[in-house]
Amino acid sequence: MIMDVSLISQFSDYPSISFQVDDVPVVVGRSSHANVQVTHPLVSRMHCELCCVDGRLFLKDLASTNQTIVNGQPATETEVYPGDEILIGGVAYRVKLEPQDAMAESLAVR
């Protein structure tokens, strides 16, 4: 299953990020090799990864220097839900999820 993920920035200096996730992890980090780049000095080159398993979104910290914080708690590996706040380095994001199957179903109902 593919899931549309939006990380809504809580800081005006950093844009919100939207991308698709499936069973192949999407790496978030400062490096140009990361799938999703966040150019903040407290973000590690390969900071964390997001992966969709059975329609659920999971986050894994990649031994980042400044940790990944989910809802105020350091996270090494955790499930992420809509509305959760993720702090990646020094940038806070609010999670918004949309499974693609749900989008297809809502279009078919119309």
Give the model confidence (pLDDT) of 29-50 as tens digits: 999 999 999 999 999 999 999 9
Residue 69 tokens read as 């914080």
Q: What is the DSSP string of the chain?
A: --EEEEEEESSTTS--EEEEE-SSPEEEESSTTSSEE---TTS-TT-EEEEEETTEEEEEE-S-TT-EEETTEEESEEEE-TT-EEEETTEEEEEEEEEHHHHHHHHHH-
pLDDT > 80? residue 109: no
Q: How confident is the model at residue 104 (pLDDT cuts 50, 70, 90)?
A: very low
Which residue is it, tokens 């992420």? 80
50-59, 78-87, 98-107: which has the minimum mean pLDDT?
Answer: 98-107
Among 12, 33, 37, which Cα is nearest to 88's?
Answer: 37
Average of pLDDT values for 23-34? 96
pLDDT > 90 in the chain, percent: 82
Average of pLDDT values for 4-24? 93
Q: How confident is the model at residue 67 (pLDDT cuts 50, 70, 90)?
A: very high
Q: Which has more pLDDT, 31 or 102?
A: 31
Average model confidence (pLDDT) across the chain: 90
d(CA 32, CA 80): 25
d(CA 43, CA 90): 7
